Structure 1
Amino acid sequence: MSHSSVQYCPKSFAVPIIFVPGLMGSRLRIKQDKRIVWEPLDNIGNAIRLARSNAVEKRAELIGLDAAPYSPDYLEVDLGESNPQHPFLQERIDRGWGGVLQGSYSGFLAWLQVSATLPENGLLPRGCSALHYEVWAPPYNWTDDNLNSGRDLGDTVRKALEGTAKKYQGTDVQVLKPIIITHSMGGLVSRAYTQLHGGAEEVHGVIHGALPCEGAPAAYKRILAGFEGAGIERHVLGANQQEVTATAANMPGVLQLLPNQWHKTVNGAKAWLHCTGKDGSKLWSKPAANPYSEIYSNQSDWWRLVYKEHLNPGSDNESEAYISYVKALKNAESFHAQLGPSAFHPNPRMFYSDDTEHSSWDSVEWKQTETEDIPPDDTFQDTNGRGIFTWSRMVLVVDFGGFEPVPRLITHYELQPANAPGDGTVHSGSGLHVSGPMSLPINPGFEHQPAFDSKEARRLTKEWLFEMVEEQL
């Protein structure tokens, strides 16, 4: 028998698959007393409690009690518990399945483990007589810096490889190098691991889904106006400016989802924040160069990202909260500077939604709708916390024979709806302009959170996994 015929003799293979969830996709508890603060297991009671809480209460749950500044040691992941009646589930608990968002991920994880190896055309990857995927889903502290989460991901990759090797020890099954699959923010965690923590050689390839490669303007919109719709993010992180600033704007991981210095709109433009006059004329566009200094740390313009009095509403020390926020911003800018626009694993794939049925913000527009385009100096500002800023002037009116000061509306700016193709959170430009991965659009597309429930997303994932298996044979 020739050497070449031996080389392609079909064998059995096993591949460790590590799935990295997105924002709010991991179960979190307070490290000190082990009390669960975020339960991503479709727990209605948990959602109702958080929905009824105000900005101070939400911040206390997610950032720290007694108006403490953000600390990465306040929260930790919770892996969940196996059911004593079904001890076979312990393996999945050990692999992290119980600590991730069940509604979005449990079906996909089960599909990966059981069905993704079944060939559509009856043919396994060339050289395979049998193929096994061993799926891990490590939860992580999504409030923390993605650089820290990326470091911890390396521990899971090594554990997955060792666990798979141990499972098939003594059999004729050959274990291949691990493959990572990511959703949304999980892609930043993975990129931090492979490109900044030296993990690229430890995995064969990475598949990204719904990745905000260079951030998403939706993050700006939601901090300034709250989360839209009826999703769980609205209940947990906030429905208005006050609530989301008190929670998300204190989280280093979330700040790394803001449009960074490399961001481009669907049309390729660098400026993504605009203000238009009543007649539709462009009054200004930002950023000219750096969104961190021009928009995020800005404290002089009304359209700035953060009003520092909302960062820690339970404390009288606005300066301390703002200093902590600016430190997290600088870390975010540094994180993206280290990654750059092309820091991906050498063997990457990516899919993204590209239809207007799931409109997304690739840019954010504030439109003037009342009277004067630019607020006069003698007016005072007010906001409803949901995307409307108004300026009024006090005028005297006759009231019962005297004069009574009352506000009169002068100028009114309103946030405009999303109108770019995408998945409702990440616009298609994130995939269109990405530098590095093989990046394919899906149209009709999908909603951001259940991205991996899309039939086309699963088809691509299966196809890419088969390709990556063949590459290793």
Structure 2
Amino acid sequence: MPSQLGIQAGENGVKAGGCCTPKQDQIPQKMSVPPTKVLPIIFLPGIMGSNLRMSAKRQALLTKSNNIAWRPDRTGEALAMVNATAARRQLQLDPWETEVDIYDPATNSTGNSKESAAQRHDLGTIRVSLNPEGKSPLLTDDPVGAPNPKTKEMKAKERGWGEVYFGSYRGILEICEIALNHSWLQSSWGRIFKTDPGEWGAVSSPAVKALLEKEHKEAIKGCWFPVHAMGYNWLQSNGESAKILSRRIRDLIEKYIEQKYQCEKVILITHSMGGLVARALIHPQIGGLESVVLGIVHGVMPANGAPAAYKRMRCGFEESFGGLDPAPKVLGNFGSEVTAVLGNSQGGLELLPNKVYGNGWLEVRQNGVLLHSLPKGNNPYSEIYRLPGKWFNLLREDWLNPARVRGAGFKRTCDLLQGAEEFHDAIRDTYHPLSYAHYGADPSRASWERVVWNLDKSRSSANWQDLLIASDNGHGVLELSTTGEASEVNISFSIDGIAAAPVSIPGALGVSLGKSSGAGDQTVPLRSAENQLRSGKFKGIFQQRGYEHQASYSDNNAVQSTLYSLSRIIAIMKWSGNA
């Protein structure tokens, strides 16, 4: 007699069972067997996109009630830093006294006896509704009566969603979890199938074709795609972060194998600095994970660095997100505040333009006439970053160590810059052979392609290179003199038409920061991002418009090109054995 089949999740995997039906019953019996293969999707955030906690020693020094060093989703913490001194910022965001704030319910490492890890990593309601049949690794509530049942919110915490800037990244995490794991056609895919990728900014070469529904369904058949997030300490070198994440990714694969799934590779999605970490992850002498990473989707990566990093260390952050993003105000509105943090952070210094970015991005002009530009020999490290005693160099030595930390200062920062140079050289040509990228190429999003210092047009500039800083408002207005001393004569300046505080030096030479220019996303200029195109190593490139850097994954074109790229990468997967 035909048998009535069913399935159940056993301790050692999925088991089939059934019962007999009358011989007359000729209706075919069907059994839905859930996949046993898992291909994790891992999201790597950008700078300031990973939550950090500080050591107990540093917490005590700062007399904080918890150990939060950086958690932009926590409004109270962000507001407390807005008016913090440069010294406070240096101590709270110290790469030697911080680590990723990983969800750890066993030890409840919050630095606050009244706050559990679950409370610290609370994400609210996860906007994912998945109801797979049988056992799955997805974000679903366990059925009532299951042993040690977990909600989807609890599972999201275990996936690392609470260790990243959730307010900024939740959209892309939830969209990927839903879109890749639903068994029916979703509206997100309906806008992708048969659509010319040129609508999302795809360049003509490398050519990419429209995705067909049957291609996608064949690619995802028989596999789960759980979405994870992994933070990293963005204050430390991206090379060190890659080594740590390499171990975490291998442990994740092993965890799925222990749960009786076939798990062999992962796919990475990155935002901004996360792309540099991903490149280090696959580098054979750093992370060594190229054989484990099936492919990478890079979003708004500063492939060759960004002059905005120089500008912000000298003149502070600009407003972003329409003023709603707390990160710029917390990192610093003034150069002294930003330098106190990034000047002691190798990770931050690794966002500076590298040798491949090219010459001439730092300019000195008077009356529109170019007087000088740097670098000239494709080495910004020696020509700008480690250059001492020049008013136009990167480092204001008196801004580096406001907290008077032992060992901090110009020499240590130069050592960090040496490490940044070595990191840049190491990953210079490192891209995964199965890479896709999207980035801003918007002419209306001026992105500091170059930084311009304008000399006061009414004064002599014959000896401008040898002058000393007499006054610096930390926001792009300087006064230079032969002695480096100020006096009592008021001279007013403006930045982009906005009046700045007057400074006063008779016979001194005024300098002001020029306007941002160059297509991009307001942070990463096209000149840097398009190195991915020039490399010739990518399977698809999407040059896009309409979004600001941090908000890129809130843009429909960025999301749709990401889903398209994921489907194309998944289709390449070749599983070992017959499982």
Relative to structure 1, the CA distance from residue 451 to residue 324 in structure 2 (aligned partners, 3 Å threshold; closer, same or farther) is: same
Identity across matched positions, percent = 31
| Counterpart pick for 1:204 among 288, 291, 294 | 294
Relative to structure 1, the CA distance from residue 457 to residue 176 in structure 2 (aligned partners, 3 Å threshold; closer, same or farther) is: farther
Aligned to 1:148: 240
- Asked if structure 2 preserves the Cα contact closer than 8 Å seen for 1:370 and 1:410, the reply is no
The alpha carbon displacement at 1:364 in A equals 0.8
Letter in 2 for 1:385: G
Aligned to 2:476: 387
For normalisation by structure 2, the TM-score amounts to 0.70
Matches within 5 A, 1:31-42: 31-32=55-56, 35-42=66-73
Aligned to 2:134: none
Q: Secondary structure at the match of 1:459?
A: helix
Q: Secondary structure at the match of 1:126?
A: helix
Aligned to 1:271: 360
Matches within 5 A, 1:378-417: 381-391=470-480, 407-417=505-515
| Counterpart pick for 1:465 among 566, 571, 579 | 566
The alpha carbon displacement at 1:180 in A equals 0.7
Letter in 1 for 2:348: V
- Asked if structure 1 preserves the Cα contact closer than 8 Å seen for 2:314 and 2:476, the reply is yes
Matches within 5 A, 1:280-429: 280-289=368-377, 290-315=379-404, 320-340=408-428, 342-371=429-458, 372-375=460-463, 381-391=470-480, 407-429=505-527
- Asked if structure 2 preserves the Cα contact closer than 8 Å seen for 1:125 and 1:470, the reply is no
Aligned equivalents of 1:424, 1:182: Cα separation in 2: 18
The alpha carbon displacement at 1:45 in A equals 1.0
Letter in 1 for 2:506: R
The alpha carbon displacement at 1:457 in A equals 1.1
- Asked if structure 2 preserves the Cα contact closer than 8 Å seen for 1:273 and 1:287, the reply is yes
Aligned to 1:455: 556
Letter in 1 for 2:43: F
The alpha carbon displacement at 1:281 in A equals 1.1
Q: Give a deviation string over 1:269-299, Cα, whole Å, max 9, x none.
A: x321111112x11100100121001100111
Find out whether 1:91 has 2:150 as its counterpart: no
- Asked if structure 1 preserves the Cα contact closer than 8 Å seen for 2:70 and 2:93, the reply is no
Higher alpha-carbon Rg: 2
- Name the one with the larger strand percent: 1
Aligned equivalents of 2:410, 2:521: Cα separation in 1: 32
Aligned to 1:82: 118
Letter in 2 for 1:271: G
Q: Secondary structure at the match of 1:359?
A: coil
Letter in 2 for 1:413: V
- Asked if structure 1 preserves the Cα contact closer than 8 Å seen for 2:400 and 2:408, the reply is no
Aligned equivalents of 2:512, 2:80: Cα separation in 1: 31
Aligned equivalents of 2:80, 2:507: Cα separation in 1: 37
- Asked if structure 1 preserves the Cα contact closer than 8 Å seen for 2:172 and 2:553, the reply is yes
Aligned equivalents of 1:182, 1:328: Cα separation in 2: 24
- Asked if structure 2 preserves the Cα contact closer than 8 Å seen for 1:379 and 1:391, the reply is yes
Relative to structure 1, the CA distance from residue 42 to residue 440 in structure 2 (aligned partners, 3 Å threshold; closer, same or farther) is: same
Aligned equivalents of 1:395, 1:310: Cα separation in 2: 22
The alpha carbon displacement at 1:407 in A equals 3.3
Q: Give a deviation string over 1:36-92, Cα, whole Å, max 9, x none.
A: 3334352221111101111111112112xxxxxx52xx1011134336998422222
Q: Secondary structure at the match of 2:444?
A: strand
Aligned to 2:28: none
Letter in 2 for 1:180: L
Relative to structure 1, the CA distance from residue 59 to residue 112 in structure 2 (aligned partners, 3 Å threshold; closer, same or farther) is: same
The alpha carbon displacement at 1:165 in A equals 3.9
Q: Give a deviation string over 1:174-231, Cα, whole Å, max 9, x none.
A: 6462111111111111111101321101111111101001110000000000001144
Aligned equivalents of 1:395, 1:138: Cα separation in 2: 53
Aligned equivalents of 1:409, 1:326: Cα separation in 2: 33
Find out whether 1:160 has 2:248 as its counterpart: no
For normalisation by structure 1, the TM-score amounts to 0.85
Give the aligned CA root-mean-square deviation in angstroms.
Answer: 2.7
| Counterpart pick for 1:237 among 317, 323, 331 | 331
Aligned equivalents of 2:402, 2:544: Cα separation in 1: 43
Q: Give a deviation string over 1:147-198, Cα, whole Å, max 9, x none.
A: 11001111232233234445564xxxx6462111111111111111101321
- Asked if structure 2 preserves the Cα contact closer than 8 Å seen for 1:296 and 1:305, the reply is yes
Aligned equivalents of 2:173, 2:307: Cα separation in 1: 29
Give aligned pairs, total: 436
Relative to structure 1, the CA distance from residue 127 to residue 420 in structure 2 (aligned partners, 3 Å threshold; closer, same or farther) is: closer
Aligned equivalents of 2:524, 2:467: Cα separation in 1: 39
| Counterpart pick for 2:171 among 85, 107, 114 | 107
Aligned to 1:7: none
* Structure 1, unaligned runs of 5 or more: 1-9, 64-69, 265-269, 398-405
Find out whether 1:44 has 2:136 as its counterpart: no
The alpha carbon displacement at 1:16 in A equals 0.6
Matches within 5 A, 1:248-259: 248-259=342-353
Find out whether 1:22 has 2:55 as its counterpart: no
